[in-house]
A and B are shown apart, each in its own frame.
Chain A
Amino acid sequence: SQKIEQNSEALNIQEGKTATLTCNYTNYSPAYLQWYRQDPGRGPVFLLLIRENEKEKRKERLKVTFDTTLKQSLFHITASQPADSATYLCALEAPNDYKLSFGAGTTVTVRA
């Protein structure tokens, strides 16, 4: 069956360090992989989308890589700040499929 796994439920890091989150998937051939941020009790907020033929994408302090051979995406937050504390979700969309499948999320806490 299809599965999306995010590396750990929680990640605690010191301000200024880089947070690295992992998203692994099985039995998927995604056309796109997306990362969302979710704050407690609020809706997810779209951060980045990376296509199957792209290796890396950047947006400000965020970087996403996508390895379709390893079936893995890495999400990096560089120079982390306490305001980056949130839950980060990865989501996959298969070709010609209009629905997103989400991982369980990783909660990042950045200590000042």
Chain B
Amino acid sequence: DSGVTQTPKHLITATGQRVTLRCSPRSGDLSVYWYQQSLDQGLQFLIQYYNGEERAKGNILERFSAQQFPDLHSELNLSSLELGDSALYFCASSPRGSPDTQYFGPGTRLTVL
């Protein structure tokens, strides 16, 4: 158990819908990262937040957005969902003392029908 929690574990929805994925980092960690993992694209970095501020952005679609709240939990919002958005979405956090080490959560499996 990495200490990073993600909810829900599974999500099944229809095309065109909007969903919110939630992540709580390890206690004391200020950084939160979001990744998407699909069979054809592998593990892809989406976005990072540090203490509430966006710090780095990857190939995140405009239909996707994220935020980190004052209590440091983070949410990833996916809208106008398409079949190709079906994937595992992981959240990770890193400790202040070792910012390059990331601890991954168990992931949310999103299925878009």
Is A bound to B?
yes
Given contacts A43-B2, A49-B101, A100-B45, 15 further A-B contacts (CB under 8 A): A32-B100, A34-B100, A34-B101, A41-B88, A43-B92, A43-B105, A45-B2, A93-B100, A98-B31, A98-B50, A99-B45, A99-B48, A100-B33, A102-B43, A102-B44
Q: A89-B43, A99-B48 are in contact. Are A43 and B100 (CB under 8 A)?
A: no
Task: Decide if the interface of chain B is mainly helix, strand, loop or mixed.
Answer: strand
Write out, one digit per residue, whether chain A residues 75-109 have a CB within 8 A of any chain B CB (1) or not (0).
00000000000000100010001111111110000
B residues sitting closer than 8 Å to A (CB atoms) are 2, 4, 31, 33, 42-45, 48, 50, 55-56, 58, 88, 90, 92, 99-107, 109
A16 at the interface (CB under 8 A from B): no
Write out, one digit per residue, whether chain A residues 26-66 have a CB within 8 A of any chain B CB (1) or not (0).
00000010101000011111100100000000000000000
A43 CB contacts on chain B under 8 angstroms = 2, 4, 90, 92, 104-107
**Residue contacts A-B, CB under 8 angstroms, 30 given:** A32-B100, A34-B101, A42-B107, A43-B2, A43-B4, A43-B90, A43-B92, A43-B104, A43-B105, A43-B107, A44-B43, A44-B104, A46-B103, A49-B101, A93-B100, A97-B56, A98-B31, A98-B50, A98-B55, A98-B56, A98-B99, A99-B33, A99-B45, A99-B58, A100-B102, A101-B45, A102-B43, A102-B44, A103-B42, A104-B42
